Structure 1
Amino acid sequence: MKITEFMNNKKGASGIGTLIVFIAMVLVAAVAASVLINTSGFLQQKASTTGKESTEQVASGLQIAQVMGMHNGANINKTAIYISPNAGSSAIDLSQAVVMLSDGANKRVYKYDSTFHKDLTDGGDMFADATVGWKTLSATKFGVAVIQDADGSCAAATPVINKGDIVAITVNTTSFTATARTAISGTVQPEFGAPGVISFTTPATYLDDAKVVQLQ
């Protein structure tokens, strides 16, 4: 009788130990599953954000429609860079854009100045001094002349351009070397996306009866 009771007690102890091990395995598996779920969720969110930013970076950008200039007989002193967003581009804030121009010897960087924002959607003389303040536009700032903006997104404080908008970036290049036969290159670099590329050579001679010339 005592032997039988002893054997029964031994089996009970073994069962409790197995149960403890089983519960420990379940707890470990639950913790591991929780870590994996959290990690996969984080990675999914990160991948989604990265994909969105990559698509925005690749699809967005600016295109240069043309570059027009006005000379003073010896130098291109007023330059208007006509731009619009690329097809499928996200909205672009020009207040965060940078214009860079180089003649091979010097390189100038221009930032937006809201003082020189002008609405020309109803027409006007682009190169008139009173239009966009060419005389007071400094050698480190650029202005924006709005040519087409159906939704009114390109305001002075927030010059944002989107689908269908056309604007001219106005630059005073009086102090910039743009004499005859000068190769000028540069970019209009938005906050994100592909830049608009500028590349032209100034005319071989400046004629008094052709003050405004197409450069690109």
Structure 2
Amino acid sequence: MFADITSEDGERGQVGIGTLIIFIAMVLVAAVAAGVLINTAGLLESTASDTGQDSQSQVSNQIDVVTAVGFNDGSGDVTQLNFTVKKSAGSDQIDLQDATVEFLSNDASTTLQYGANTSATQFATESLVGNGDQVLDNTTERVKITINATDVGDPLSPGEEATIRFVDQSGATTIYGVNVPDTISGETYVAV
């Protein structure tokens, strides 16, 4: 009725406990590794989502230039540039106080920040249509951006060209080419 316990049976039990301890240790290591993988995957997903949103903003946020006018101070050069701008369809809000304007010509290269008045490092804005602030909320709003070309260091002569880059708070860039007509004598303003 009772089986005899031999020395081999005791060794088999000890081997089973050792194997069980090793198995439990492997399960714990696998659980820790799985936790690290899950945390890393969550971090990568969050980073990828943020990068995707930033990229989408840079592509979809655009400033549209409706009109561009240059003013002649009587010397024959265009000394002031006025751009009427709006936000393009599908863009998020564009805060012109956080935007920059880059002025590039043959004689000058300057990055302008928002300012109450124009100087060598500032551009001014004036709300034409809308709620009166410097944030373009919808496509019906219009804001005038003024750049003083003399303060930037390059009043534009007849036939001269310049490139204006409008960069909004998300980094989206709108490039506008300014071409001064070959003859502007007698005109106080010209389309550029």
- For residue 88 of structure 1, the aligned residue among 90, 95, 107 is 90
Corresponding position of 2:181: 203
Shift of 1:8: 2.8
Q: Which has the higher contact order (CA 8 A, sep 6+)?
A: 1
CA distance in 2, matches of 1:108, 1:49: 31
Matched, 1:162 2:164: no
Shift of 1:32: 1.5
CA contact (8 A) 1:143 1:169 kept: yes
Corresponding position of 1:26: 27
Corresponding position of 1:129: none
Corresponding position of 1:172: 148
Shift of 1:81: 0.9
1:132-176 CA-partner distances (Å, limit 9, x unpaired)? xxxxx3232211011122xx3x63xxx222322221101222353
Corresponding position of 2:5: 4
In the superposition, the TM-score normalised over structure 2's length comes to 0.85
CA distance in 2, matches of 1:93, 1:110: 15
Corresponding position of 2:125: 144
Q: CA RMSD in A?
A: 2.2
- What is the identity, as a one-letter code, of the residue corresponding to 2:156? A
Corresponding position of 1:61: 62
- What is the identity, as a one-letter code, of the residue corresponding to 2:19? T
Q: Matched residues, percent identical?
A: 32
- Where 2:57 maps in the other structure, the secondary structure is helix
- Where 1:53 maps in the other structure, the secondary structure is helix
- Matched positions, count: 186
CA contact (8 A) 1:75 1:179 kept: yes
Q: Which runs of 5+ in 2 are unaligned?
A: none
Corresponding position of 1:112: 114
Q: Which runs of 5+ in 1 are unaligned?
A: 117-136
Corresponding position of 2:189: 212
The 1:24/1:103 distance shift into structure 2, 3 A limit, reads: closer
